[in-house]
Amino acid sequence: MNHLRYVLICLLTGAWIAGMAQDKFHRPLYHTGQPTPALQPIKKSWKTPDQMKALPQFRPATLFWQNDYQILNARYENTSLFIEAKDQLSGKRNRPDAKDALQLLLAVGLQAPFTESTSESDDLGWRHTRFQQNYAGYPVYGGEVIVHQSKQGLVRILGQVMRPAPAAGTSNFLGPKWSAEAAIQQGFQDVAQYTEVLDQLPDIPGLPKVDRQSATLVVWMKEGLPRLVWHLKIVPNWYGAWDYFIDANSGDVLESYTNRCTLNHELNHNMASVPDESPEVDPLDGATKGSGKDLAGVNREVNGYQENGTFYMVDASRKMFTTIGTDTEQPEGVIWTFNAQNSNPNKNFNAVTVTSSNNTWNDPKAVSAHYNGSVAYEYFRQTFGRNSINGLGGNIVSYINVVDDDNSQMDNAFWNNTAMFYGNGKDAFKPLAQGLDVAGHEMSHGVIQNSAGLDYINESGAMNESFADIFGVLIDRDDWTIGEDVVLTSVFKSGALRNMQDPHNGGNKLGDNGWQPAHYSERYTGTQDNGGVHINSGITNFAFFKIASKIGKETAEQIYYRALTKYLTRSSNFVDLRNAVLASAADFQGANGSAIAIINTAFDEVGIGSTGGSEKPTDVSENTGEEYVVVVNNEDGNLYLANTAGQIISDALSDNPPLSRPSMTDDGTVLIYVSQDNIMRYISFDWQQGQYGSDVLDDQVPWRNAVISKDGNRIAALTKDEDNFIYVYDFNLQQFPGFELTNPTYTEGVSTGDVLRADAMEFDFTGEYLVYDCESQLKNANGVDVTYWDIGFLHVFDVASNQFAEGSIQKLFAGLPSNTSVGNPTFSKNSPYIIAFELIDETNAEPTIYLLGGNLETGQVDTILQNNTLSYPNFSTADDRLLVNTDVTELFIFTRTDLYQVPLASNKISLGGNPSEFMQNAQWGYWFATGSRVLTKIVRELDPSYALKAFPNPVTEQLLVSLELEKSTEVSYQLYNLYGQQIAVWREQESPGKIQRSLQLPELASGTYVLRVLVNGQQGIVKLTKF
């Protein structure tokens, strides 16, 4: 057994296949031509329990090992990726290239090409390498992951990975039909609907000319449908840069939004971004220190610069200072304050540097703005070692006395990547330069833009606003509110613009001044405010408060800054934020640090994600019906029924001996198999009447194996031909598609070998997945081709949408040791995460066969026994033993094959006692019971009394759903595409009576979708057409 330990270690460390055993599990196949599956309706129907017709999804996890890495955690939810692993060779080799770790994406079934973009190391010893996802040779917008590697061998991968739909092709990626120039023209024409487009940007003191337009070809992949698009950055005026996504083939505008970072969205006036450049002024000389009172009446030190007897509000005293400039060069590394003199950036902007003749500063607004800039600079420098807002010692520039387009007072403040623009207030605010947290908020947008670069739309945009609020309350850290020093209480009754401790902030609903959602269920799902960036930030703000109030602001700010600068990408969402904050905290405190539980609880309480990622599968209750075993009698080759004592209790169930192992429904009413004449047959049992009968299921195609789902709704079958397809028939849809088997890798166009054929198969509890084994071949141009067997999970059906799935594949082991194969997998009867399977080791001349148990949830693998032939394991109904084949020899001569029962330990994957004989001259035992049970949560068809309707249909943007309810009930509205992917979900506590719920749909491509309405344990399904 020493060698087995080596083999298991190799399995778990995943050495790549170098040479594999030949045809170890199954007999040769004979090619007979292209199959034409035409499964006929079963002649003798059987009844399926109602509670087993609609089953939730179970996603099998890959055993948590991948090559040289032990996978500690792996989640892929929608587009959010989080993987944590341990390099098992750490200390024995140098830290591997970051691209080597991308193979870990296979653990969540992802395979996509990536290109390295940047790499950096930090003071904690971590290396952070960013990768850009590609598709058809173009970068995927938003597809970005960061590989984090510690010196101790810990690896984390976080980011966004876009997965194309199965039917997606690359025919539209041969090149753009629309030129960049045409797309830019289209962008400027479209943006004119929302803001003024100036023929020429006017010169502004302190701001150089800018490039008003740029265009980059990218792949836009919303809802899994890839399009080649032009990503535009256009600047229609000084108020703001806009992002546009224009279809490169049709010219359609797919999405657009402004990047303006204003204090309050409800009062904004198209304020946004201008270029990241330093202002140009006359050279100055002589740093000075003066003083002046700010808007709060507090005397502040004012750092200035003197030239020819005039004092300029230019602070050249900070560590970032580089040069004060010359007649032709701009100052670098200064804090600079301008007076806009009640002018507007788009119309004759008349800004001048604030000056004094005697180094006494009498303009409180200028003093406040200058002070704000210096406090923000020192906060980021002293707390995080950051060199100014942009991280590169860039100037911090402020403008006071800025007015709106109509020359009225501006009731807002905004940041433009380089400069702060302060209005003097009007209806809702006092002069905004008085708010240190306001300035901290706006300038923090510069930190965000120059680190994660979070897109200013939807959840990433809400996170952008939230981080700005977070740093705002940390710069002005005496409370948890934003804007308390500048709001007018006649508008904001609570006395603050936003409250991180209480996001509702004195309001009751969306639209009340200052109100924000406190929980994900309250989030805004419309299109206003760039998808609610100023609204939904309240959810993540509340999470930060819950964390920081328990672990302290000093600890929380370090964790959040690291999450922002090291772990997040521009398309990150709320789930990514949770993952990033947890990873950052673990970097400081370790995986069991005191902050981890607090962070998990905080995000749980605001409805973002769940502790530990995906929901863990749970056991189902044991089938309590009468127990029997179906066996193959080796003397005549026929199927017989036996009791659990190993005694045959029936005549031959059929006169047609099986070619393949039989398969049964969970309630024991239907058995199917392929007979030796390659005909698919079935045996139907009526246990109440004590009767059974057999018949042909299909004789139109030569078959070699067939299995039935536990609920009896689906059959999976293999043709006699040697091909790499599994055919799945659904009795309700009456469709019979073929699923091609491949060996997925993480690199586009690269596979670990061609799949030749599958053999053993079994449905999981839900009927959505098949576990199978298959033979693959590695071509060797310089030697002998290598064949091997391995185990995969194939997604064949999506119950939620009642459609066939996309056929994604996950492998039990992505890498096997040399001369090793695995096969003959089987699920336990009561634990959907437990399997048994076989391993063949051909290191020596005589192959060694092992029976193994595996826990898909924990990744644990254990040896059950060593056998002298293939076991073909099958669990008992109590999961306390396995039925296995074993060969009996007398005087070293093979005598017969017997069935043995092997006791299992309580973990169901380890040996629990001595094996004993179950039946002589028998094989392929299948243990079952005749009871009906709930394999998963019961979901019944929605009763007609609910009068479910959805309209209009076809729908464009807003869907109305009507129901009739007897009492107040929580209703879940779930939207799916035809690939079974959940697109949106709304949960509402509905009042009794006839209700009508308005659902604002997310941006969707035209096509067919499925609305699933869950109420009181019942579900209603409505198919929708989106125009």
Selection from 395, 444, 374, 452 nearest residue 276 by Cα: 395
Report, as an integer, the average pLDDT of 269-294.
56
Q: Write the pLDDT tens digit of every residue in 213-222.
A: 999 999 998 7
- In this prediction, residues 660-670 reach a mean pLDDT of 93
Average pLDDT of the segment spanning 95-120: 84
More confident residue, 852 or 845: 852
Same fold, 2-56+625-929 and 451-613: no
CATH topology of domain 940-1026: Immunoglobulin-like (2.60.40)
- Residue predicted with more confidence, 786 or 667: 667
In CATH, what class is 2-56+625-929? mainly beta
pLDDT of residue 269: 29
Choice between 252 and 20, residue whose per-residue pLDDT is larger: 252
DSSP β-bridge partners for residue 985: 974
pLDDT exceeds cutoff 60 at 808: yes
The residue with greater pLDDT, 68 or 915, is 915
- pLDDT value for 208: 57
Bigger pLDDT: 444 or 327?
A: 444
- Of 269, 534, 775, 842, which is the active-site residue? 534
Residue pLDDT, tens place only, 156-170: 999 999 887 654 555
**Residue 921 region by backbone torsions, left for phi larger than 0, else alpha for psi between -120 and 50, else beta:** left
Q: What is the mean pLDDT of residues 527-535?
A: 89
What interhelical angle do 574-589 and 594-605 show, nearest 10? 170
Q: With bands split at pLDDT 50, 70 and 90, how would you rate the model's confidence at 223?
A: low
Give me the percent of the chain exceeding a pLDDT of 90: 51
Q: What is the pLDDT at residue 170?
A: 57
Distant-in-sequence, close-in-space partners of 395: CB < 8 Å, separation ≥ 6: 278, 279, 331, 332, 333, 334, 335, 336, 388, 418
Annotated active-site residue 148? The verdict is no
Peptide bond into 825 cis (omega under 30): no
Where along the chain do its domains lie? Answer: 2-56+625-929, 65-160, 451-613, 940-1026
Pairing of β 1018-1026 and β 940-941: parallel
- Give me the pLDDT at residue 889, please: 79
Q: Is the pLDDT of residue 846 over 90?
A: no
Neighbours of 285 (CB within 10 A): 10
**Residue pair 230/246 in contact by the 8 Å Cβ criterion:** yes
CB atoms within 10 A of CB 651: 9
> CA separation (Å) from 368 to 62, 410, 789?
58, 17, 72
Which pLDDT does position 323 carry in this prediction?
Answer: 79
CB 688 within 8 A of CB 626: no
Question: Model confidence at 1010, in pLDDT bands (50, 70, 90)?
Answer: confident
DSSP 8-state assignment for residue 843:
S
CATH code that applies to domain 65-160: 3.10.450
Lowest mean pLDDT segment, chosen from 795-799, 910-914, 1023-1027: 1023-1027
Q: How confident is the model at residue 205 (pLDDT cuts 50, 70, 90)?
A: low
8 A C-beta contact, residue 653 and residue 943: no
- Tell me the C-alpha distance between 972 and 715, whole Å: 31
Highest mean pLDDT among 624-628, 687-691, 780-784, 906-910: 906-910
β-strand pairing of 670-674 with 663-664: antiparallel
Closest CA to 631 of 620, 619, 645: 645
Neighbours of 893 (CB within 10 A): 6
Q: pLDDT digit string (tens) for 728-773?
A: 999 988 899 999 998 764 333 334 458 999 999 999 988 999 999 9
pLDDT of residue 6: 39
pLDDT tier, 602 (very low <50, low <70, confident <90, very high otherwise): very high
Residue type, 270: N
How confident is residue 229, by pLDDT bands cut at 50, 70 and 90? very high
What is the pLDDT at residue 581? 96
Q: Which residue has the higher pLDDT, 708 or 456?
A: 708
Residue 222: its pLDDT value, please?
79
1026 vs 1002: CA distance, rounded Å:
11
Percentage of the chain beyond pLDDT 70 is 83
Note the pLDDT tens digit of each residue in 447-459.
Answer: 998 899 898 889 9
Average pLDDT, the chain: 83
Residue 856 corresponds to which amino acid?
A: L
Residue located via tokens 């023209």: 185
* pLDDT value for 708: 97
- pLDDT band at residue 23 under the 50/70/90 scheme: very low
> Given 84, 144, 277, 442, which residue is catalytic?
442
For 409, list phi and psi in degrees, rounded to 5: -65, 140
Spatial contact of 683 and 639, defined as CB atoms under 8 Å apart: yes
Q: Which residue has the higher pLDDT, 105 or 574?
A: 574
Look up residue 142 and give its two tokens: 């938003």
Band of the pLDDT at 527, cuts 50, 70, 90?
confident
Q: Worst-scoring range by mean pLDDT, 123-127, 258-262, 278-282, 501-505?
A: 278-282
Tell me whether residue 442 is one of the annotated catalytic residues. Answer: yes
Stretch 548-571: mean pLDDT: 95
Classify domain 451-613 at the CATH topology level. Neutral Protease; domain 2 (1.10.390)
Is the pLDDT confidence value at 727 over 90?
Answer: yes
Predicted confidence band at 414 (pLDDT cuts at 50, 70, 90)? confident
Count the neighbouring beta carbons within 10 Å of the beta carbon of residue 36: 9
C-beta separation of 669 from 657 below 8 A: no
